[in-house]
Structure 1
């Protein structure tokens, strides 16, 4: 057997990973915490079961919460199997599939495929790691010797443990030099009781006489108890029969009234009569139906007047009749189209009434026009909002200006007088300059006068706080008025553009706000107009088809052509039906006449069978049969009641009651039994009282440990000693048998394993140690020099190499019986470099016989060309 693929759903930190393995040597390389131990436990869990939550360190539940479990694909005996296991009770939910034959196998087949391998043997021998190799020191010499001796028998570790347990159990029962074991204590107690019994012989005679009388009374008591139980059963039985006497009387009455059943009136006969009557009724119904059919056929022979007009011109009308289904369909379509057209016209008229002006509907906007209108409306809305904000600002400025004006009118300016003075001086200078000689002087004087006046009027006036604030408000009001006029011009321009678009599309009478709803109505009106055109075209086509048909029909059947469409279609359909009916009418009448003859014969035959049925039973009427049948049913019911009463009484009681003449005799038997029961009860009470007296006397004689008590205690102790001895013998003999059997079972394989282990150990130690020897008491290895060393004298690495050699030898020797892959989880950490390479070479050698899976952190194996290398890390 070898593993082919490992598919992990979720196990430890692995999830959704797949590893492919070869049948020979496989290296799975990864650093610490890469998942080597996780992968080892995954293989064990899938093959033998997921550990329970009592062992969380072995469960490796997924760290990311993914589905817990996985699958293995392995090959055994040239057959490929896939086993999957997910979390569940009893080791998980298992599915097993035979990939070679594509069959799903029961989960119970998996242990049979792995047999005789179990989890204990697999983990001890085939799963190798450094802690397990290190157990070669922790185990005692004897335990190691026993393991090597019995490793050839599958499951021997369990039996060795059982043998050790039995030895321990036997030691708790008896040891030759012991004091505390159970049998040793019982032997001392036996000797003490024997000494006491010798001292109690003085009172033996009196005790023996009382004891003999007690035994006789006890036997008498037992006999009386048996008699009392029997008499109580007799009394109980008679009491029960007395209580059942009324039931017995009812049974007798039914038995006397019971009469023999008369044949011919059973349920089967009643069923037969019902069948005959049913046949007669069915035959009469068939006869009546055929009579009605022939009457209907005869009436149908009377043809209507319009059909008689059709007969002379049938050759011209028949081609038109073939078109009748299509013309009728066209007529139905004409009616439906008229209704549809009226509804379309009504809706279009409503829209025209609401939106048309002077009989002209507005035109729909194009996409560009719609986008232009949206932009203009957005700009107009924004301009209106800005205009309202400017108007609000202007109103606020005006209010502030009005508030400042009164304050200026009544305020006293200390520079007002200076302003008048400076203005007067400036005018005087300006006037005086006009009288100066020379134009230059006149110009300079005029400029000086203007400057003085300007200084007096403006600079003096603006130097006051009220004047400066009023001037600022005036400037703001002018700016706001200018912006307001600009927004007004923009709003007028946008409104004019919208008016132009509305006029161009016939929407001058519609407010801009309603243009969107108007456009939806215009679109609906255009669709309605197109549908009206299509409907008119279809209506004209179907109307023309109906008109053409009626015109062609009028030329050959003028009277029918004057009828409305519904009447005309009905008359033409009648012509078609009568035309078909006439063809088969003659043959149908002949067939119905023949069937009438047969129907009449069937009625006569059925009536004759009913009459015969009644005559065989000497009856005249059907009711007479049912009267006799009812009487027969009542008799059968009485017979059932009698049988039920007999079952209630029981066969034994019924037979006994039949032997009794009357109730008084039965009651006399009951009184006699009760009297006898009382007598036996009195004898038993007297015997019991005597036994109580004897017990008191014997107790008085044995209160100080007299002979009888001591003898009884000793006898009980002998019985206990026999039981203890039997348990001791069973445990001791079973332990010896297990050891003998395991030794015999492994006797032929153990030398092979030791010889193979010696060879492997030599290769692992570079022939430093060449031989392993196993005796009944020691395990030793021989050096190349010929000297022997025990396990305790070896270094840790060398001892672990010894354990590895033994396990590899076991796997190789037993591979014919137990072919399982070897899984090594970083087991060579205590090996030096040369012996580690020797171990790799040995694994490569044995991988030709068995599969080897080495999980290691040693990256040097990547350079080896002896096996398949896989990386554990993504």
Structure 2
């Protein structure tokens, strides 16, 4: 089979494009992003179906919205076919046309034309690129050996797996040198039971004597354990009391110092005294104030010096005195505004220290910016929630995938059961032929059994619903992973947009979560700045008013103008007061004299109440009361401490400690208890040791039971051994028959593949490696010098060349059974220049037998091209 034309309706960035191919070597040359991988996926998709929409990265849906799909024209068995595939369910809508006879064929005919090729085998062997060649390192050595050994028997994976399962099942039953297999363990158990039965027959009387002593020792052990538990409780209690002795001594000292409380010196009494003293102090203060008033009134006749200076200029000063209240209020406002300004400046400085960057405060958001940030944050929260949901879905899919894995090997369907029937029939014929007379009949019967088994292996489809379900889960997992990557890119984009906004407004050093609080602080700082400006303006106005007043006053009263504000306001107020007091001085003196008499009576009454309070408690001074009151408080505190210590000790321990004379006596009790405990412990240890000795002697005599029990166990074991042996023979014979059948089916092609791969590998490595050898356990290549190397000892490029040689050899050897084009998508990136040229020459050589489509960015192939060359542009 080879491809003639590729017609693309819409696939990736290609649309309405046609490529013509030859049956031999074809070069499609173009730079990165020119569409080489797109064309490779196009061929796979048209032949085997589009991936589901859960894997959009593999579908290559057209970027310009054109019709999704395309067509291939290929030649098979000298018949020309055209297959087209467009968007639709189940891998797309397929149309198949026979161009030779001009007939439209059913779509179900396409898999039959491609059989036995399927998408998995085609992509693993015939579609070659650097990642797939690189899998030679990630695959285990044994997996690579199995792949080469059985590559010649197409469709044998199921039966190989069944044979391996049967071998494993047989190995779990019996191994000649094994210890863990079931039959090996049963044989050892049988010998052990026989030995035990012999010993039990010889030691019956001794057994009963030891048994009676054992029962007596067990009763003694139980009594000693009870005594030991009781003695341990006594020892623990005494140890606790010894550790609490210091607490008991502190409680005892407080109890000895405790005295009965005396009434009259409580906190309530102290409060009452404070109230009486407060009343006395207030009465004395009122008396002193009234005495000062009368003295001031009596001295009023002697006018102050500044008042005498006022009298000549009263006409000029009186207009200023009318402004005095307003000026005083302005001065008070000035002081208050200074305090307010200092507080505003302090708060603004705190905000600048917290949020300013390099002395520059961040800018506030506009309404549109705030809305944009809210939208971005909501989208970011939603994206994070969706990503968590997708991660949960992916975890669930992975769990289902792991749950299906064990069941995959055992999943069956009618077709697989049919294969088992054919295989069983072949095994029956093969075994039956061994009993036929004559060598000729035996040979014919054996060949007939191999033929029947071969039919069941290779002509009956063995796919299972479990495998298809597992593939669907794999598709779902890849789709979830793609969506997770998309959500990650969206989250990064939203985060970058928020970072740009933060940098533009000077918030690059502030986390997004704190932007709201930062904006509130910025608003507060702007309000503080405005208030500072307003306060400065008010301060300037008020200061000007006070300054003008003092300047006017200085022109008429120069001495007063030099005083500070408090002295100045006091002197001016005195002038105003003296003006009025000169008129009412006589009547005021009479009023103050009457109030002094009342004040004196109040002081006398308060003093008498304090004296009475002290006398009722036999005290002379107030300080004596407070001394006695402090003593009462200390006694109450000691009582609380004593109660706390008693609660810490507990009633039982406190009573017990009171019966002990001193610490030495208590420690002596503890030592006696410990000694008794050690004695009981020693007796118990001796009894336990004797019981262990008796148990060992009894176990030595009887091991696993009495004679009757041992005989019954041995007979049961014989029955189990017969059943196990039958299972082992069935599994081992079936496995050997499957391996024999598959070896007969693939043995003629495997040596050809290995020989052809050795020849190709020598050409790719310029004869540095000349031979590939495959044994039952190892894969190695031979250098020209005769030295052998394993795959793990090769460089990456050399190992990829080995994988390429095997795949090319498979395609060449199997071309009669499976003729498919080779598609190579930039698969030689790890080859050096000389080996890359050798690879091009090898492709040109095998293109005479099979079609080769080479997609590469290496433009040097244009000068070396021996086939059709098509240019791809980016």
TM category, shorter: 0.3 to 0.5
Whether the 8 Å CA contact 2:159–2:457 is kept in 1: the answer is no
Cα 1:375–1:752, aligned 2, differ >3 Å: closer, same or farther?
Answer: closer
Deviation digits for residues 566-587 of structure 1, max 9, x if unmatched?
9999999999999999999999
- The residue number in structure 1 matching 2:600 is 600
Change (3 A) 1:10 1:373: closer
Contact 1:174 1:728 in 2 (8 A): yes
Displacement of 1:156 in angstroms is 3.5
Say which is worse superposed, 176-185 or 470-479, in terms of deviation. Answer: 470-479
User: 1:12-34 CA distances to partner (integer Å, 9 max, x unpaired)?
Assistant: 44444332211111122233333
CA distance in 2, matches of 1:469, 1:730: 32
Distance 1:584 1:261, change over 3 A: same
What are the within-5 Å matches in structure 2 for residues 601-620 of structure 1? none
- CA apart distance, 1:730: 5.0
Matches within 5 A, 1:359-374: none
- For the structure 1 residues 165 and 560, does the alpha-carbon distance in structure 2 shift closer, same or farther, using more than 3 Å as the test? same
Could you say if the C-alpha distance between residues 186 and 88 of structure 1 is closer, same or farther in structure 2, counting changes exceeding 3 Å? farther
- Structure 1 position 326, deviation (Å): 130
Matched residues in 2 for 1:429 and 1:596: separation? 143
Higher alpha-carbon deviation: 501-510 or 820-829 = 501-510
The structural deviation recorded for 1:130 is 1.6
Structure 1 residues 430 and 130, CA, compared in 2 at 3 Å: closer, same or farther?
closer
Q: Partners in 2 of 1:439 and 1:560 — Cα distance?
A: 151
Greater shift after overlay, 435-444 or 43-52? Answer: 435-444
Shift of 1:81: 0.6
Q: State the secondary structure of the residue aligned to 1:781.
A: strand
CA distance in 2, matches of 1:600, 1:675: 85
- Further displaced range: 395-404 or 187-196: 395-404
Higher mean displacement: 297-306 or 526-535 = 297-306
- Cα deviations across residues 682-738 of structure 1 (Å, max 9, x unaligned)? 999999999999999999999999999999999999998877766655554444333
Structure 2 CA distance, aligned partners of 1:254 and 1:175? Answer: 84
The answer to whether the Cα contact below 8 Å between 2:27 and 2:865 also exists between their aligned partners in 1 is no
Shift of 1:766: 1.9
Superimposed CA distance per residue, residues 39-69 of structure 1 (whole angstroms, 9 cap, x where no aligned partner): 2233223223334456665444445555443
- The more displaced of 864-873 and 562-571 is 562-571
Instruction: Please report how far the alpha carbon of residue 821 of structure 1 lies from its aligned counterpart in structure 2 after TM superposition.
Output: 0.5
2:782–2:789 contact (8 Å) kept in structure 1:
yes
Summarize the Cα distance change of 1:837–1:217 in structure 2 as closer, same or farther, 3 Å threshold: same
CA deviation after TM superposition for structure 1 residue 612, in Å: 166
Structure 2 CA distance for partners of 1:605 and 1:306, relative to 1, 3 Å? closer
| Farther-moved stretch of structure 1 (838-847 vs 155-164) | 155-164
Q: Which moved more, 1:205-214 or 1:714-723?
A: 205-214
1:445 and 1:152 map into 2 onto residues whose CA distance is 25
Q: Is the 8 A contact 2:55 2:475 kept in 1?
A: no
Contact 2:35 2:872 in 1 (8 A): yes
- Asked whether the 8 Å contact 1:352–1:361 carries over to 2, the reply is yes
Structure 1 residue 823 displacement after superposition: 1.0
Corresponding residue SS for 2:529: helix
Aligned counterparts, 1:441-840, within 5 A: 729-840=729-840
The answer to which of 353-362 and 167-176 deviates more is 353-362
SS of residue matched to 1:236: helix
Deviation for aligned residue 1:3: 0.8
**Any idea what the Cα deviations from partners look like across 1:506-556, whole Å, max 9, x if unmatched?**
999999999999999999999999999999999999999999999999999
Structure 1 residue 147, shift from structure 2 partner: 2.4
Cα gap change, 1:838 to 1:205, in 2 (>3 Å): same
Residues 459/621 of structure 1: CA separation in 2 closer, same or farther (3 Å cut):
closer
- Seen in structure 2, the aligned counterparts of structure 1 residues 357 and 669 have a Cα distance that, compared at 3 Å, is closer
**Conserved in 2, the CA contact under 8 Å of 1:702 and 1:708?**
no
Deviation at residue 832 of structure 1 after TM alignment:
0.5
For 2:461, what is the secondary structure of its paired residue? helix
Asked if 2 retains the 8 angstrom alpha-carbon contact of 1:121 and 1:154, the reply is no
1:127 to partner: Cα distance: 1.6
Q: Does 1:178 align with 2:174?
A: no
Q: TM-score, normalised by structure 2?
A: 0.38
Report if the CA contact (8 A) 2:761-2:802 is conserved.
yes
Question: Is the 2:196–2:702 Cα contact (8 Å) retained in structure 1?
Answer: no
| Distance change >3 Å, CA 203–CA 828, structure 1 → 2 | same
Give how far 1:853 is off: 0.8
Gaps of 5+ in 1: none
Over the aligned positions, Cα root-mean-square deviation in angstroms equals 48.7
Alpha-carbon contact 2:238-2:669 (below 8 Å) kept: yes
- How far is 1:831 from its partner? 0.4
Contact map agreement 1:204 1:707 (CA 8 A) in 2: no
Indicate the larger mover: 103-112 or 628-637. 628-637
2:167 and 2:731 in contact (8 A); partners too: yes
Given the superposition, is the C-alpha separation of residues 684 and 728 from structure 1 closer, same or farther in structure 2, using an over 3 Å criterion? farther
Per mean C-alpha deviation after superposition, the further-off stretch among 264-273 and 833-842 is 264-273
SS of residue matched to 2:203: helix
Pair 264,705 (structure 1): closer, same or farther in 2 beyond 3 Å: same
Any stretches of 5+ residues in structure 2 without a counterpart?
Answer: none
* Residues 1:598 and 1:649: Cα distance change in structure 2 (over 3 Å): same
In structure 1, what is the Cα distance between the partners aligned to 2:449 and 2:809? 137
Deviation at 1:670, TM superposition (A): 97
Tell me if 1:411 matches 2:402: no
CA distance in 2, matches of 1:634, 1:514: 54
Secondary structure at the aligned position of 1:65 is classed as coil
Would you say the 8 A contact 2:13–2:62 is kept in 1? yes
Once residues 89 and 253 of structure 1 are traced to their aligned partners in structure 2, the CA distance between those partners, rounded to angstroms, is 96
CA contact (8 A) 2:54 2:476 kept: no
Counterparts of 1:564 and 1:699, CA distance in 2: 113
Q: Is the 8 A contact 1:121 1:155 kept in 2?
A: no
Contact 1:619-1:625 at 8 Å conserved across structures: yes
Deviations, residues 783-820 of structure 1 (Å, cap 9, x unaligned): 33333333333222122112212221221222222211
- Structure 2 distance, partners of 1:773, 1:724, is 39
Distance 1:435 1:676 in 2: 85
Secondary structure of residue in 2 paired with 1:850: coil
Aligned length: 874
Which of 704-713 and 116-125 deviates more?
704-713
TM-score (norm 1): 0.38
The 3 A distance-change label for structure 1 pair 200 and 632 is: same
Alignment of 1:24-423 (within 5 A): 24-52=24-52, 58-63=58-63, 66-171=66-171
Counterpart-to-counterpart distance in 2, 1:349 and 1:671: 72
Measure, in 1, the Cα distance between the counterparts of 2:213 and 2:416: 165
Flag the 1:163–1:555 CA change in 2: closer, same or farther, 3 A.
Answer: farther
**Residue 812 of structure 1 contacts residue 846 of structure 1 at CA under 8 Å; is this kept in 2?**
yes
Q: Is the 8 A contact 2:6 2:71 kept in 1?
A: yes
- Cα shift at 1:850: 0.7
Q: Say if 1:181 and 1:554 are closer, same or farther in 2 by CA, change over 3 A.
A: closer
Kept in 2: contact 1:203–1:706 (CA 8 A): no
Larger mean Cα displacement after TM superposition, 817-826 or 200-209: 200-209
CA contact (8 A) 2:55 2:479 kept: no
1:828 shift after superposition: 0.4
CA change 1:278–1:387 in 2 (3 A) is: closer
Q: Are the equivalent residues in 2 in contact too, given 1:178–1:184 (CA < 8 A)?
A: yes
Higher Rg: 1
CA distance in 1, matches of 2:431, 2:638: 165
Give the distance between the partners of 2:239 and 2:504, measured in 1 at CA: 123
Cα distance per residue 1:156-191 (max 9 Å; x no partner): 445434443444455556666777767778889999
1:508 alignment partner, SS class: coil
Tell whether 2:843 aligns with 1:850. no
Q: Report the Cα offset of residue 446 of structure 1.
A: 164
Conserved 8 A contact 2:416-2:463: no
* Matches of 2:542 and 2:375, distance apart in 1: 50
1:835-870: CA deviation from partner (whole Å, max 9, x where unpaired): 111111111111111100112121222333312222
- Give, in whole Å, the separation in 2 of the partners of 1:413 and 1:124: 26
Offset, 1:128: 1.4
Instruction: Report the more deviating stretch, 777-786 or 572-581.
Output: 572-581
Moved more, 381-390 or 427-436: 427-436
- 1:208 Cα deviation (Å)? 30
Question: CA, structure 1 residues 144+631, in 2 after alignment: closer, same or farther (shift >3 Å)?
Answer: same
Question: Residue 193 and residue 832 in structure 1: after superposition, are their counterparts in 2 closer, same or farther (change >3 A)?
Answer: same
Distance change (3 Å), C-alpha of 1:107 and 1:629: farther
Q: CA deviation at 1:73?
A: 1.2
Larger deviation: 109-118 or 295-304? 295-304
CA contact (8 A) 1:821 1:852 kept: yes
Higher mean C-alpha displacement, 177-186 vs 642-651 = 642-651
